[in-house]
Amino acid sequence: MTSAGKLKSHSFEWLFSIVLLLLVGCGDAAAPWNLAGSTMGTTWRVAAVPGEHTSVTEEALQVEIEAVLEAVNASMSTYRADSEVSRFNAAPVGEWFEVSSDFYLVLSSAMAISWQSNGAYDLTVGPLVNLWGFGPGDRTDEPPSSEAIDAVMAQVGQDKLRVDGEIYSVLKQAELYLDFSSIAKGFAVDELARVLAGAGFENYLVEIGGEMRVAGQSPRGDAWRIAIEKPEAVPGGIAQAFALEDEAVATSGDYRNFFEADGVRYSHTIDPRTGEPVAHELVSVTVVHPSCMMADAWATALTVLGAEEARIVAEAAGLAVYFIQREGDGYSESYTDAFAPYLQRTDAAN
């Protein structure tokens, strides 16, 4: 990363929330269709500006969006016993399991990011997350024993998966538990964007649980303006704002969800390579990418890696990334070379 990618330090009294905001200005604006609902344990929203090529009614669009989200859940939700991923998790070891094209796309993309991130990203990490008390079960205030970690590590690792793209089938070589939660929201955002484009929309925003994708222009006729908020400072305080056009953005953070034992802070972000929570100063990672699925997964992978290794990996992959990390009693902000144009674009628009 160049020296130009280093930003000033600030007092740590302004803690960051991992939230992406749509900045809406005043002035003349086209009236968007604003749709919303619940999915994947969070909320979704769509702001779509109808135009001369729009081929659906607002009511029909809502129905189609909900149908797409239902299909994603039916494939990738571990909270549904009849979902595709739950059935794979329950399938016998050593037998090929036929999967849908969407399932295969998400899994193969995740495996590619796992390779590029030196194993920091792994869809089989779920048993470790549960062991440390950050899963859907009971919380804990004590770290597990090294013996317990070693036992669970035998059930973790995408190297224990085999995939066949010709017949869309997956085979597990050990008792594995796939969990798509770190990539499914991004995939669903991309699917909704596909629906909107297919219905003739040229200007829209899609957001699920903070993962976001935009196209064209905002309702006020300029670029969509996205911000990372500081919620515990002055309400509406902004860490960084930037403009997006026809791109996706996702943020992953590592400071809210943790427990402390004997003076040691244990993060909810588990490194699948060690079986233990990460222990570094990286607070927040924001990734801009053409695909929200890829932005979603990369944000998680880079959070696991920590600031130094994450920057090396992100630069090598040509990723546009904005980092926030603890630095003494404050924090510092930095970004990759590929992110710099977004700040320049925003400055030019102001």
Binding-site entries? 182, 296, 300
Query: CA nearest 107: which of 67, 164, 154?
Result: 164
Full strand arrangement of the beta sheet holding 42-49: 10-11, 330-335, 320-327, 282-289, 248-253, 211-215, 203-208, 42-49, 33-39
Residue written as token pair 């630069």: 315
Q: How far apart are CA 334 and CA 182, in angstroms?
A: 23
Largest Cα span, the chain: 63
Q: Is 326 strand, coil or helix?
A: strand
Q: Establish how many alpha carbons lie within 13 A of residue 50's alpha carbon, considering only the half-sphere containing its beta carbon.
A: 11
Q: How far apart are CA 75 and CA 196, in angstroms?
A: 21
What six digits make up the tokens of 21? 């905001």
Note whether 288 and 295 are within 8 A (CB): yes
Q: How far apart are CA 99 and CA 86, in angstroms?
A: 12
Q: How far apart are CA 73 and CA 301, in angstroms?
A: 23
What six digits make up the tokens of 138? 């009971």
What six digits make up the tokens of 141? 């205030």
Binding site for Mg(2+), by residue number, is 182, 296, 300
Q: What angle do CA 336, 17, 219 make, to 5 degrees?
A: 80
Q: What is the CA radius of gyration of the chain?
A: 21
Q: How far apart are CA 84 and CA 81, in angstroms?
A: 9
Q: Is 104 strand, coil or helix?
A: helix
What six digits make up the tokens of 315? 């630069």
Pairing assessment for the beta strands 248-253 and 237-244 based on DSSP bridges: unpaired
Point out which residues pair with 172 in neighbouring strands: 161
* Number of residues assigned to the chain: 350
